[in-house]
Amino acid sequence: MSIVAIVGRPNVGKSTFFNRLIQRREAIVDATSGVTRDRHYGKSEWNGREFTLIDTGGYVKGSDDVFEAEIDKQVELAIDEADVILFMVDVETGVTGMDEDVSKLLRKVKKPVLLVINKVDNSKRNADAVEFYALGLGEYYTIASINGSGTGDLLDAIVKVLPEREEENNEDLPRFAVVGRPNAGKSSFINALIGEDRYIVTDIAGTTRDSIDTKYNRFGFEFNLVDTAGIRRKSKVKEDLEFYSVMRSVRAIEHSDVIILVLDATRGFEGQDQNIFWLAEKNKKGVIILVNKWDLVEKETKTTKEYEAKIRREIEPFTDVPILFVSVLTKQRIFKAIETAVEVFERRKNRISTSKLNDTMLDIIERNPPPANKGKFVKIKYCMQLPTPTPQFVFFCNLPQYVKEAYKRFLENKMRDIFDFHGVPIIIYFRQK
């Protein structure tokens, strides 16, 4: 899936525009906040084309502020990784020195750059927008992100310059993406599986750079392994590695069926691990968690249970995820990890017949009906699985607006237990009968 990055100086309305785009469709994945200032990831769709949207922080060249310097690195990295760049400016303030700094950066980029002039909500401001030709980026698009004016034309332009869809090789084979923080052991995990140093593995966090597929065919398993791997030039090691890992994970996650999230046991389940986990969950991928370097952890009787319980608290409410404690160095349980990933892939394809689903779930609902709300009683009459690639179910009732999230979660948990969706996100809808 293509990546579209929104860049520009602070306070031009990037986040407002981002929020508008990701809420454009019911099925769009919500934004996931990053671990540093003003960075969000989301998924949008227009005219049948989906793309990942990244809202970066405001670019301030030469700032002494530590946060702004960090944001600047992330903006430059987003420009490097994105397929299309939206350069947003503000018609109210006109062309500023910071706008000129960004435009100089973007004029060197050999990829589509769309100049977006925000806050153009009347004819006078439309005339004022002409001054932005001075930035040397050619034609521009005028929008008002606060009310959505002009966004349709801009989205048409974005879709027009998106790269052509890539042909999927071995499309009948499942794709397992190995993702995680820098230096968690992702490449070492794959090397241990395939029995050779297929990937560059060093002690330097962020050694890997490009996403590479490897066909795995051993012990009765056949699938494509997707690793955010490759060779990283030493001059690039200074980049923001945490942001980089999420950028690469976005692509890997969206093109895969099951996500193998590798943690470093000595560091624990940290904020960046959680961000990557929720990217997988929101994209409705199967998930397993590998706690790597378990051989380096000092253990007592309850260490494993306590560690697992802590992870499950961090990933609530989607806690029904396989968690395996492994050591890539000693190859402890790494083949069990692959076996588990295959099982999750098969569960993700589960189809429940309508008759079986109704016989099971309507009996549970009759014994545990939705709580009354404002004196209204919800009556669920029928349910069915939707013909979607991932497990999605619809329950038909008289008052869908009164069904609370807690009751949805109750039904989801029952379905997980009964129909074995361990490690697989499922979606439940309530519709008017």
Q: Is 56 annotated as a binding residue?
A: yes
Tell me the percentage of the chain whose pLDDT exceeds 70.
Answer: 79
The SS3 call for residue 221 is strand
Q: What is the mean pLDDT of residues 168-182?
A: 74
Q: Is 58 annotated as a binding residue?
A: yes
Query: What dihedral do alpha carbons 30, 32, 33, 36 form, nearest 10°?
Result: -150
Q: Is 218 annotated as a binding residue?
A: no
Among 289, 252, 282, 249, CA closest to 268:
289
Is residue 421 within 8 Å of residue 347, measured between CB atoms?
yes
Q: Is 59 annotated as a binding residue?
A: yes
Q: Is 293 annotated as a binding residue?
A: yes
- Of 179 and 170, the structure prediction assigns the larger pLDDT to 179
Q: Which residues pair with 32 in a beta bridge?
A: 41
**pLDDT tens, 119-132?**
998 888 889 999 99
DSSP string, 17-81: HHHHHHTSSTTPPPPEE-SSTT-EEEEEEETTEEEEEEEPPPP-TT---HHHHHHHHHHHHHHHH
How crowded is residue 14: how many other Cβ atoms within 10 Å of its Cβ? 24
Q: Rounded to an integer, what distance in angstroms lies between the CA atom of residue 282 and that of residue 52?
A: 12
Q: Is 292 annotated as a binding residue?
A: yes
Query: What b/e readout covers 271-283, taking b as 16+ CB neighbours within 10 angstroms?
Result: ebbbbbbbbbbbb
Q: Is 136 annotated as a binding residue?
A: no
Q: Is 118 annotated as a binding residue?
A: yes
Confidence (pLDDT) at 1? 67
DSSP assignment letter at 295: G
* pTM metric for this prediction: 0.64
Residue 357, pLDDT > 90, answer yes
Is residue 182 within 8 Å of residue 241, measured between CB atoms?
yes
Q: Is 120 annotated as a binding residue?
A: yes
- Residue 72 — pLDDT band, cuts 50, 70, 90? low
Residue 244's φ and ψ, nearest 5 degrees, are: -60, -45
Confidence (pLDDT) at 212? 56
Query: What dihedral do alpha carbons 135, 138, 143, 149 form, nearest 10°?
Result: 170
Q: Is 27 annotated as a binding residue?
A: no
Place of tokens 């760049």: 85
Q: Is 229 annotated as a binding residue?
A: yes
Q: Is 348 annotated as a binding residue?
A: no
Query: How many helices and strands (H and E) does the chain possess?
Result: 12, 16
Q: Is 161 annotated as a binding residue?
A: no
Confidence (pLDDT) at 62? 53
Is residue 172 within 8 Å of residue 256, measured between CB atoms?
no
Confidence (pLDDT) at 301? 83
Q: Is 187 annotated as a binding residue?
A: yes
Q: What is the mean pLDDT of residues 32-52?
A: 64
Confidence (pLDDT) at 145? 85
- Of 232 and 267, the structure prediction assigns the larger pLDDT to 267
**pLDDT tens, 188-202?**
888 788 765 444 444
Q: Is 170 annotated as a binding residue?
A: no
Q: Is 55 annotated as a binding residue?
A: yes
